[in-house]
Structures are given as C-alpha cells and as structure tokens.
Amino acid sequence: MESILLWLAAVFLAPFFSAVILKIKAFFAGKKGPPLLINYYTLIKLFKKGSVYSKSTTVVFKMGPVISCATALTVLLFLPIAGHAPVFSFNGDVILILYLMGLGRFFTIAAAMDTASPFEGMGAAREAYFPIICEAAMFMILIFFYRMTGALSLSAYFAGTGSLALWQIAGAPLLFIVIAFFIILLTENSRVPVDDPATHLELTMIHEVMVLDHSGPDFALIELGSFCKLFFYAAITSQLMVPFDTGLPGLGLVLFLAGLLIVYMIVGVVESAIARYRMDKVPQFVLTSFALAFFATIITLELIT
C-alpha cells in the first residue's frame, strides 16, 4: 500500500521536478522563468485538446505515445523510492526494466517512421543510435552492481540500506558509476549536451523531432512519459548520492527529495553552463560513461576476490 502511494506520488511529482530545470536555466539566463507548475498546466492544456492525425499515418502512430507512456509508468513500479520497497520486485527485474524502456523507445521510433517525414526519420536514426552505446554502459553498470550485491534487482541495490552498503564496499569506484549514470541520464532523456529539448530547429533535434506530429492528448502522454523517465533516472542517481538510511521514515523521504532536487538542479546547471556537442561528437561523450563504468568494474575485481 505504502509503495503504491509512493508510486503515485512519484508520477504526480515528476512534472514538478522537470520544471526545476527550467527554473535553473531561467536563473542563469537572467530571466524569471516559467512557474514551477508549468508542466501541469501544459499537461492539462494538452489533455483538453483534440488530436490531429495525418492521413498517411496508421495505428502504429497512435500506439507510440500510449506505449511509451505506459512503459515509463511501469518502470517506475520497480523503482525503490526513498529506500522503500517498490511495488514489484524480483530477481532479474533490472533486465525487464531496461527492455521495457527499450520497448517504449521502439514504439516512439516506429511512430516517428510511420509519419514518413524525413525529419522524423533522421531523428529516429539518431534516437536508435545513441541508446545502443548507452545500453553497453548500462550493462557495465549492472555487472558492477551484480558483483557488489550478487543480485539483479533494483530493490536489492537501493531499498533499505542497500545503497549505503554499496558505498561501504566500493566507495571510490561507485563515484565513477554515479558519473557514468549521470551521463546516461543526460543521453536517455535528451538533455544538453546530447540533445536540446528547447530547440525548434527540426534538423538538429533528436527526441523532439520524433514527436513533432503528435498533438493533444497523445503529446501529453509523451510528455508525461518523459517526465517519468527522467524521474526514474534522477531517483537512482539521487539514491546513489544520498545513501543514508536514518531509520526515521520521514527524514529518509526528506533526504531523498533533497537528493532528487540536487540532481535536477545539476542537470539545469549543466544545460546552462555548456553548449551542445556536435552530433558526431556525441558518441564519444556517451562512450565516456561506458569507459567509466568499465573502469569501476575492473577496480572491483580486486576488492571482491
């Protein structure tokens, strides 16, 4: 019951945290920025609208938003929030999570291809390419966690005292993992320096260009899905960064939220401080996360045996 409530809270809070990034970016730009509740207003506005479908699209186009949002929501079910046990958990659930997100991406890409727009095709090609590198890094991180805990489930890593234990076993390499995971966060959620969520230039976009043709409630689902996805990655990063288990339920939650806020703020600072990489340099940047995770895993070979 508690975990379902937490899950609901996570879904409900995800749009709020995404607005924090906008606020930080506005701060650096010397502007007031949109209100913190902007994403709720946008979602409500979009849900009230009707959808427009091109005659050349098929049912695949309509499935894209539904499935990408559904997978993002499902993935959150497996996420231990603030050290609490998630709604679902079993040994090997990380693999399921990874490929649930892959499924969501597959349908976003398929929906983009379905429009037969050359821009969306280009975006789809890029969206298919970068996550492949991400996946390699992700598996490296999993290998690392598996070596540390001997389990393949998120709750084993992050529920209860899990994350604190990780720091005690392998603090230094875990630092690499945090950085590697943050790079994956930026890539998977199409943030600067990989993608620019604010751009309107269809030739340079990756994720945004694929959803150009979606409108109204469909677009709202996509937005909600991407808020949840970012929340998922940010929550894991936060739990790695703030692993303390105080035993007091209230305090744990506060610490978790504080950590989450810090992660989102760092994303905002990164977006404000650096320019976007040239498209052909992005793979190098993403590969950095793989190298870091690989290095961390190598180091732990010494520790465990």
Partner 1 sequence: MTQFLEITNGGKVRRDTIPHLDFAVFCDHALSIIKNGGKVVHFFAYEDNDKDRVKFLAVLRTDVLLAAGCDAPESYPALTRTCEVFHLFEREIAEQFGIRPEGHPWLKMVRYHENQRQVPDVFGNDYTEDIPGNYDYYRVAGDEIHEVAVGPVHAGVIEPGHFRFNCIGERVLHLEIQLGYQHRGVENLFYTAKAKQLPLLAENIAGDTTIGHGLCMAQAVEALASVQVDEGAKIIRTIALELERLANHIGDLGALCMDVAFLAPANYFGRIRGDFLNLSLLLCGNRFGKGLVRPGGVRFTLDDDIRKTLDERIKELKPQVEHVLELIFSASTVRARFEGCGRVSAKDAQHLGLVGPAGRASGIAYDARRCFPTEYYPHLSIAENAKPTGDVLDRAMVRRDEVLQSISIIQSLIDKPVYTRPVEEGTRTLQSLAPFCFAVTVNEGWRGEVSHAVLTDDFGNILRYKVKDPSFHNWNGLAMALRDTGISDFPLNNKSFNLSYCGFDL
Cα angle for residues 192, 193, 194 (degrees, 5° grid) = 90
* Residues in region 268-297 near partner 1 by CB under 8 A: 271-272, 274-281
The site map against partner 1 for 132-161 (x = CB under 8 A) is ------------------------------
Paired tokens of 243? 């692993």
- Is 109 near partner 1 (CB under 8 A)? no
Q: Which is nearer to partner 1, 199 or 215 (CB)?
A: 199
Between 55 and 278, CB nearer to partner 1: 278
31 makes contact with partner 1 (CB under 8 A): yes
- Judged by CB under 8 A, the stretch of 180-188, 196-204, 217-225, 243-251 that binds partner 1 is 196-204
Structure token pair of residue 115 = 């429009």
CB 16 → partner 1: shortest distance, Å?
21
Closest contact distance (angstroms) between CB of 197 and partner 1 is 9
What tokens does 66 get? 């539904």
- Indicate which single residue of 25, 105, 214, 229 sits in contact with partner 1 (rule: CB under 8 A): 25
CB-nearer residue toward partner 1: 25 or 214: 25
Contacts of 93 by beta carbon, 8 Å cutoff, 6+ apart: 78, 152, 153, 154, 155
Q: Closest by alpha carbon to 231, among 189, 174, 193?
A: 189
Segment 209 to 228, residues that bind partner 1, using CB under 8 A:
212
Q: Which of 10, 192, 210, 260 binds partner 1 (CB under 8 A)?
A: 192
User: Is 245 a binder of partner 1 (CB under 8 A)?
Assistant: no
Q: Which stretch binds partner 1 (CB under 8 A): 36-44, 87-95, 163-171, 200-208?
A: 200-208
- Pick the stretch among 40-48, 164-172, 193-201, 250-258 that binds partner 1 (CB under 8 A): 193-201
Q: Is 203 in the site for partner 1 (CB under 8 A)?
A: yes
Rounded Cα distance between 13 and 248, Å, is 22
Report how many residues bind partner 1 under the rule CB under 8 A.
30
Nearest in space to 22 (alpha carbons), one of 242, 230, 295, 253: 230
Tokens of 163: 């994350």
The residue among 33 and 160 lying less far from partner 1, judged by its C-beta, is: 33
* Backbone phi and psi for residue 193, each to the nearest 5 degrees, phi listed first: -90, 10
State the amino acid at position 274 in one-letter form: I
Distance of alpha carbon 101 from alpha carbon 249, whole angstroms: 30
Q: Are 93 and 78 in contact (CB under 8 A)?
A: yes
CB atoms within 10 A of CB 259: 21
Within 13 Å of residue 98, how many CA atoms lie on the same side as its CB?
19
C-alpha 44/C-alpha 231 separation (Å) is: 19
Nearer CB in complex with partner 1: 27/40 = 27
CB of 29 to partner 1, least distance (A): 4
Q: How far is the CB of 279 from partner 1 (least distance, A)?
A: 4
CA gap 138, 212 in Å, rounded? 28
Q: Residues in the site for partner 1, rule: CB under 8 A? A: 25, 28-31, 118-119, 121-122, 192-193, 196, 198-204, 212, 271-272, 274-281
